[in-house]
Amino acid sequence: MRRWDPALPLRAAQELAPALQAVFAGARRGPDEGPADAIIVLGAKVLAGGVPSGSLRARAEAGAALWHAGGAPRIVTTGAHHLGPPGEAVVARGILLAAGVPDAAIRIEDKSRNTQGNLLFARGILPPEVMRVWIVTEPFHMARALTIAREVGFEPLAWPVDSPAWRRPTSRVKLLVRDGVSFAFHRAARG
């Protein structure tokens, strides 16, 4: 566990403008060229009773569509449970199965509790030769997710998802700012 660095908030404040710029740029990025070695569906909230949030459903459905389009031969769902079982990865797997993705093509990473964990643990369950991966998440989350994917050794490609939260203008602004601040702290901690 890292010790708290009292200078971190100041460094994060210095990183805020470039982080927000990267987040806003990531929000406009379109899909890159494929195919890749794997698809990684980043986790999102699961509601009471194992009901996927709109974000998780949108991410998993987009991952299934990408798999069906030949984007990659395997797909990884990510995320532990937060409020109780089932976890994000398990619920996303159910959506993939319902969309016709065969169980043999799905890997589950169910230990992580954040984006960094999603990608770090996904790296650990995929063979070392898997490098080029599609990252499936909403546009506001893409810049930070791609950066972390590179840090853990992937060659990431962006597959932005249009979720219910992303379609609402007030939510979109809130999510862009929230992820910009998260990305600024991530950059500051790495710098």
Nearest to 89 by CA among 121, 127, 67: 121
Q: What is the CATH number of the domain that holds 110?
A: 3.40.50.620
What rounded mean pLDDT belongs to the chain? 90
Q: Is residue 73 situated within a structural domain? A: yes
> Residue 124 is part of which domain span?
30-164
Q: Is residue 176 situated within a structural domain? A: no
pLDDT tens track for 135-187: 999 999 999 999 999 999 999 999 999 999 888 888 888 888 888 888 888 88
Q: Is residue 56 situated within a structural domain? A: yes
Q: Is residue 175 situated within a structural domain? A: no
Where b means 16+ CB within 10 Å and e means fewer, 71-104 reads: bbebbbbbbbbeeeebbbbbbbbebbeeeebeee
Considering its fold, how many domains does the chain have in total? 1
Q: Is residue 160 situated within a structural domain? A: yes
Give the model's pLDDT for residue 188. 82
How far apart (Å, rounded) are the C-alpha atoms in residues 179 and 185?
Answer: 10
Q: Is residue 20 situated within a structural domain? A: no
Residue 30 in this model has a pLDDT that exceeds 70? no
Residue 18 binned pLDDT confidence (cut-offs 50, 70, 90): confident
Q: Is residue 66 situated within a structural domain? A: yes
Give the model's pLDDT for residue 114. 93
pLDDT tens track for 90-103: 999 999 999 999 99
Q: Is residue 2 situated within a structural domain? A: no
